[in-house]
Amino acid sequence: MSRSISITWIEPARQHLIRHWRDYYELCKPGVVALMAFTAIVGMLVASPGEVPWRALTLGSLGIALAAGSAAAINHMVDQRIDGQMWRTKRRPLPTARIRTPHAVVFASLLGVSGLGILYLFINPLTAFLTFLSLIGYAFIYTLYLKRATPQNIVIGGAAGAAPPMLGWTAVTGSIDPNSLLLFLIIFVWTPPHFWALAIHRREDYAKVNIPMLPVTHGDRYTRWNVLFYTILLVAVSALPFVTGLSGLIYLTGAMIMGGIYLYYGVAMLVSSDKSLPMKSFGFSIIYLMAIFAILLFDRYLPYIKLALS
Ligand code: HEM
Ligand SMILES: CC(C)=CCC/C(C)=C/CC/C(C)=C/COP(=O)(O)OP(=O)(O)O
């Protein structure tokens, strides 16, 4: 009896997963989570120069990525009604009913519990706790409340997305290092120009569903000024790892060149009427973040690379 029940349950589930694995993958916002995992890995490697922290790199990044994927899936569930009305998001798995909400609940729970469990059991309780806070911060505080409450939603909510390099660092050391807060700060200040550039382009979408994004509440021009303001702040903040001695001149030079290009986009968005600029700036924001974290890593490891080559 119990055998036949389990067989009747397992086969449809297997078929469902084979048909819909791409939809479940999409629920995790894989592009965003991949960049977050990269910043976490840089945090791990920068925290332990000269030695490879294998356990953190494997289990730590897996745990952080699973928890972030869980938070993203919860965001899809909470937002499915408005996502179904916006052009950019209306083809997502939940609004199109390719995945049903109860299945998404099970999926997000499995990811969240396994991610936090891995961090707690194999990394350390502090990393598990801070990752849990980030999950709650994005999935519930940002998505359920801030997103619908204030145009400063992404400034405050950005703290959850900025956590990964600090989580990576903590996964290696077991404590919060002041230098890891610098990496947190860089992503925190990067988030507004990253997102507002896209929000300028998608203003009508957000207005239609009454989400008070800055371009909806304060207009296009005011948002462009804010993008420039945060980009200037970002260039200043990105120099801090050099100021504190965490990195050297290679990082500083790379960060200033990338910052210069980002500033160019910020100014161009104010002085030019080219409608393609906001999305170009959004695209560049991703290249920018990837690049400065990669350069930071290179700068930090160059002495060891030289040593290995000599
Ligand atoms: C509150 C904070 C953030 C907001 C509101 C935000 C918003 C967005 C939005 C609306 C998109 C477009 C997604 C789409 O095309 O459907 C996007 C894409 C992206 N974001 Fe963010 N973002 C935030 C933080 C972050 C963080 C912290 C990272 C990485 C460290 C990140 C990395 C990316 C990447 C890589 C993409 C491109 C994804 C793809 O094309 O698959 N974002 N973001
Ligand atoms: C545990 C941990 C590190 C958590 C990180 C959480 C996480 C995945 C943050 C992503 C930030 C993001 C893409 C916000 C966009 O949400 P949105 O609802 O404004 O955008 P959308 O309309 O594209 O869904």
Q: Which CATH class is domain 1-176?
A: mainly alpha
Ligand number nearest to the C-alpha of 86: 2
Outline where DSSP puts E strands in the chain: none
Q: Is the CB of 134 under 6 A from ligand 2?
A: yes
Tens of pLDDT, residue by residue over 26-44, are 999 999 999 999 999 999 9
Residue nearest to atom 9 of ligand 1 (CA): 195
Q: Is the CB of 31 under 6 A from ligand 1?
A: yes
Which two tokens mark 112? 């969240």
- Mean pLDDT of the residues in the chain: 96
Among 294, 232, 226, CA closest to 264: 232
ipTM beyond 0.90?
Answer: yes
Q: Tell me the C-alpha to C-alpha distance, in Å, between residue 77 and each of 38, 82, 143, 215, 286.
A: 25, 10, 10, 25, 25
**Separation of CA 204 and ligand 1 centre (Å):** 19
Q: Is the CB of 181 under 6 A from ligand 1?
A: no
Q: Max alpha carbon distance in the chain (Å)?
A: 73
CB atoms within 10 A of CB 221: 12
Confidence of residue 51 (pLDDT cuts 50, 70, 90): confident
Choose one of 25, 28, 32 to mutate for the ligand 1 pocket test, by most ligand atoms within 8 angstroms of C-beta: 32
Among 40, 88, 290, CA closest to 190: 290
Confidence of residue 13 (pLDDT cuts 50, 70, 90): confident
Among 164, 70, 141, CA closest to 108: 70
**Separation of CA 156 and ligand 2 centre (Å):** 12
- 26: alpha, beta or left, given left = phi > 0 and alpha = psi -120 to 50? alpha
Tens of pLDDT, residue by residue over 60-115, are 999 999 999 999 999 999 999 999 999 999 999 999 999 999 999 999 999 999 99
* Whole-number Å distance between alpha carbons of 40 and 170: 10
Average confidence (pLDDT) over 291-305: 95
Grouping H, G, I as helix, E, B as strand and the rest as coil, residue 264 is: helix
Residue nearest to atom 21 of ligand 2 (CA): 89
- What pTM was computed for the model? 0.95
Q: Is the CB of 191 under 6 A from ligand 1?
A: yes
Confidence of residue 12 (pLDDT cuts 50, 70, 90): confident
Say yes or no to pLDDT of 310 above 90. no
Main-chain dihedrals φ then ψ at residue 213, nearest 5 degrees: -70, 150
